[in-house]
Structure 1
Amino acid sequence: MAAAPARCGGGGLSLCLASAGVVKALSIAAFTLAWMHSIEKTAWQEDWLVAPAGLTLQQARIKGTGAGMEPPPEARLVDGWFQWSPPPMPRPEVVFGNSGAAGEWHLCHAGRCQTLSEIFGHPIGANVTTMRVCKNP
């Protein structure tokens, strides 16, 4: 059974990001997480849905192939990106870190992308970041 969503204030569902003891709530229902692969220096993007059941990966895209980034057999090359839609599997949280070898994670919504450091208002560095759905009272 999935863990209960975090409470972050406001109304409805939001995306909560937590890093280095700070929590930021973003009132968004969907977003793209984008980064550069640390070894291959190739762009990677994932489209996520924020829903009561948890965070669900809707589609993944990579700009090339290489070490640790082989697309699955169902991936199709579209406009220079290998893209695929994994089976929907809501996750109570997604945890990720930054090795510092390829720049920062970017969160994109409504045509605007920001680094995690911009969202938090201070450098994230190598701190782990946790994403989860906030259920607001």
Structure 2
Amino acid sequence: MLGLCLGLAGSIWAQVPAEQMTLSWTHTIEKIRWAEDYRILPNGFILEQARVKGSGAGMEIPADAVLKDGSWHYQPKLPLLPTLRLGRTPEAGDYQLCVSSANNKVQCHAMSYWVGEPTTAQPSIELWACDIPN
């Protein structure tokens, strides 16, 4: 079964069955909500859509973005991403991770639900696609 592994340097801290995921967070400086929708493939992630509530430091809205329901929606044009490396510190707050699997049931939790609270001793985490035993 395809899933999402969370950890660092190949060390698995948690495994979550998933075929798609949405990663959301609040920008630490601008306090603006950001969300990205990914399709999970055996060899990585395809970023299918992103949404941002407004612009700010390092958050320029692409020219082709469309304002809908209070957020700018756009489709980033990125190649397959083998891993996602995320900064994760107590000062920045936590990510929200929503996953859906083959039965289309969506499950949303703070990332700390799966891997514990962010700490200054471990300021990053990696996400990668992995096989999860049934």
TM-score (norm 1): 0.81
Match of 2:20 among 25, 30, 39: 30
Decide whether the 8 Å contact of 1:56 with 1:90 is kept in 2: yes
Match of 1:44 in 2: 34
User: Structure 2: where are the runs of 5+ without partners?
Assistant: 100-104
Match of 1:7 in 2: none
Report the AA paired with residue 113 of structure 2.
Answer: E
- 1:135 CA displacement: 3.1
Q: Distance in 2 between matches of 1:136 and 1:26?
A: 8
Provide runs of 4+ in structure 1 moved above 3 Å: 19-22, 99-102
TM-score (norm 2): 0.83
C-alpha RMSD of the superposition:
2.0
User: Structure 1: where are the runs of 5+ without partners?
Assistant: 1-11
Aligned-pair identity in percent equals 35
- Residue 69 to residue 132, structure 1, CA distance change in 2 (3 Å): same
Match of 2:117 among 118, 123, 128: 123
Decide whether the 8 Å contact of 1:38 with 1:99 is kept in 2: no
Pairwise mapping of residues 35-114 of structure 1 onto structure 2 (< 5 A)?
35-109=25-99, 110-114=105-109
- 1:116 CA displacement: 1.5
Structure 1 position 13 matched with structure 2 position 25:
no
- 1:119 CA displacement: 1.2
Greater shift in the superposed pair: 17-26 or 125-134: 17-26
- 1:36 CA displacement: 0.3
- 1:53 CA displacement: 3.3
The alignment of Structure 1 onto Structure 2 pairs a total of residues equal to 125
Q: Distance in 2 between matches of 1:93 and 1:124?
A: 19
SS in 2 for 1:101: helix
- 1:136 CA displacement: 4.6
